[in-house]
Each structure stands twice: as structure tokens, then as C-alpha cells.
């Protein structure tokens, strides 16, 4: 059973994972078309910056979760790859929600 502090770390990771996934989709679906079809590069600049910050937080928390929960290499690599795929973090969150019920 996980302690309350352990669940806080996992919940924080899951929250950042969802935010990172949303920012990635906004970047792909809204900002990139604005840049290339409507000649508005500022959308990519600002949304890209926000996505970059969330990605760095995601990786930092992934390392923390990897250490705290003793995840194996494949599980950690899978969580990393999920951040690179559209909707990947949402699938990861669904799996983590089942595995670490709070």
C-alpha cells in the first residue's frame, strides 16, 4: 500500500502529465496551423514555451516517480515515450489511475 506522501507525488505526476498532454495537443492542433496557414508565429512561441516548461516538469517528476516507486527501465521508458506521442499521456494516466488508486 502506498503512503499519503507517495500518492501526492503520483497525483502531482499525473496532473502534470495531463497538462503536458493538453499543451502538446494545443501546440499541434491550434498553434501550428496558426503559424503555417495564417502566418501567425506568436502562437507557437507562447504555447511552445508553456509546453516546454510542462515537458521539463514532466521529466523531472518522472525521475522522481521512477525512484520512489522503483519502476523498471521499460515502464519508465514507456512513460517517457508517452510524452512524445499525441494522447500518450492520457493513456498513461488511465493506466496509472488503475494501478495507483487513491
Q: Per residue in 70-87, pLDDT tens?
A: 999 999 999 999 999 999
Q: Residue 102: is its pLDDT beyond 90?
A: no
What is the pLDDT at residue 41?
A: 92
Contact 18, 97 (CB under 8 A): no
What is the pLDDT at residue 71?
A: 96
Cα dihedral 21, 26, 29, 33 sign: negative
The model's pTM: 0.89
- What's the CA angle centered on 34, arms 83 and 45, to 5 degrees? 60
Residue ranges per structural domain of the chain: 4-99
Q: Which cell numbers in the block locate residue 16?
A: 502534470
Of 58, 59, 77, 69, whose CA–CA distance to 16 is shortest?
58
Contact 65, 13 (CB under 8 A): yes
Kindly write down the DSSP assignment for every residue of 51-79, as one continuous string: HHHHHHHHHHHHHHHHHHHT--HHHHHHH
Per-residue pLDDT of 1-59, as tens digits, reads: 466 666 899 999 999 999 999 999 999 999 999 999 999 999 999 999 999 999 999 99
What is the pLDDT at residue 7?
A: 80
Amino acid at each position: 500500500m502506498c503512503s499519503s506522501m507517495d500518492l501526492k507525488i503520483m497525483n502531482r505526476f499525473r496532473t502534470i502529465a495531463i497538462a503536458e498532454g493538453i499543451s502538446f495537443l494545443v501546440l499541434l492542433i491550434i498553434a501550428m496551423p496558426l503559424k503555417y496557414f495564417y502566418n501567425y508565429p506568436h502562437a507557437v512561441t507562447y504555447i511552445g514555451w508553456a509546453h516546454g516548461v510542462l515537458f521539463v516538469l514532466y521529466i523531472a517528476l518522472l525521475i522522481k516517480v521512477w525512484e520512489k516507486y522503483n519502476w523498471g527501465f521499460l515502464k519508465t521508458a514507456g512513460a517517457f515515450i508517452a510524452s512524445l506521442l499525441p494522447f500518450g499521456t492520457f493513456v498513461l494516466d488511465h493506466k496509472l489511475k488503475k494501478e495507483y488508486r487513491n
